[in-house]
Amino acid sequence: MRSYVPLLVLILASFAILYLALTSNPDLKASYDSLKKEHEKLLSEYKKLNSTYNDLKREHENALNELKELKASYESLRKEHEKLLSSYNALNSSYSALRKEHEATLSELRTLRSEYESLARRYNELQEDFGALKREHENTLNELRNLRSEYDDLMSRYNKLQGDYNDLLNAYNLLKGYHSSAKQVRWYEKVAYEKLSTNWFKTELALWRSWYILKSDLRVLLLSDDYGQAGATMFAEMVRRDLSYNSDLYRGIIHEWLRDHPARNEVELANEIARLFYSLDHKYAYPGVDEPNAGLPLFPVELLAYNLGDCEDHAMLLAALYKTAGFRVRMITVPRHAALQIYLDGRWRFLEATIHFDDGGDAPCSFYSSLTVDYLERTFLNGYSGVTYYYDEV
């Protein structure tokens, strides 16, 4: 604005001079008019320039403000630059350290990668070994299963054999025990034989038998083996008479036997008496072949001594043993045969006393060691079930 003031003064002075000249000189008026037009033109340009000046002034002020702002921004940016530079330097230092660490890490990585590749190769080898071991393990497991199956089969067979062996051993020990007992009670056969030579036997038993047969006229019945009621009565009487003299003998035999083979109840006692009887050394006498015993009823003590007799003789000896053991006993006759009954389990049981073997020898230990009254009853009933029988209780 200050640069335009002298110019304005100069213009005003020019106008004043010009006005004085025009008023004093007509030529000057023409010049004045010309100058006035030029002045107006210049004034118009001046206004334009002034307007432009004002615009430039405002623009200049804006530029100054902008410059101040730029200076402030510059200062802020400079400070921020310094901070960033400091941070950059710190980061650069960290970068250098990280780069060194990175290079060290890369070196370690290369080492680890080399080790990894080595381990990978080793792993693959181990995988192959593992696969081979797994297959071998599976084969071994299959073999183990087969062996276990064979072992179980062998154990089963072994246990069966062991069981069979134990059964055989028990059976052997049982047979051995019964065989030993049978040998021991055979001693009583000698005692019985010695009794036959005594006077009491000759008078009390042998003569009584002859008298009874004659008295009862039983000779024909005895020869025909068709005993009937008379035979049952005579056989029961013979057992009673024999027991009145020889019960101690039979009691000793039974005691000797039960010492090794004790009975826990009445059924076991009945079975043991049957086993004792069939262990004795006595054989069956056939009529017409083994006379005179085959046609003459023997007292129990005689069969024990002679070891030879027919059906009624065996039945009477077995009856004497059961009676001595405390059982109720009946002598039984059926057509052409004699047997006995004992009262057991609330009923009368038929017992067969003449089971004999084709070789004519003694009953084997394997037979009498497992003998039961049930078997003796079945044997009798198989031959005489439903037939008429006669009996007399001892």
Sign of the dihedral through C-alpha 91, 95, 97, 101:
positive
Domain with CATH 3.10.620.30 in the chain: 186-393
DSSP 8-state assignment for residue 358: T
Highest average pLDDT, of 118-132, 169-183, 210-224, comes from 118-132
pTM of the model: 0.58
**How far is residue 67's CA from residue 85's CA, in Å, rounded to a whole number?**
25
The pLDDT tens digits for 158-198 are: 888 877 666 555 555 555 556 555 566 677 888 888 888 88
The pLDDT tens digits for 315-363 are: 999 999 999 999 999 999 999 899 999 999 999 999 999 987 665 556 6
Nearest to 321 by CA among 388, 275, 390, 364: 275
Give me the numbers of helices (H) and strands (E) for the chain, helices first please: 12, 6
The domain 186-393: what is its CATH number? 3.10.620.30
The pLDDT tens digits for 85-108 are: 888 888 888 888 888 888 888 888
The pLDDT tens digits for 358-390 are: 655 566 777 878 899 999 999 999 999 999 999
Nearest to 270 by CA among 350, 206, 191: 350
| Terminal-residue alpha carbon distance, the chain | 179
The pLDDT tens digits for 2-56 are: 555 566 667 777 767 766 666 666 676 788 788 888 888 888 888 888 888 888 8
pLDDT reported for residue 43: 84
Q: In this structure, what are the phi and psi dihedrals at residue 25, rounded to the nearest 5 degrees?
A: -145, 125
pLDDT reported for residue 316: 97
Of 219 and 381, more confident:
381
114-128, 141-155, 201-215: the lowest-pLDDT one: 201-215
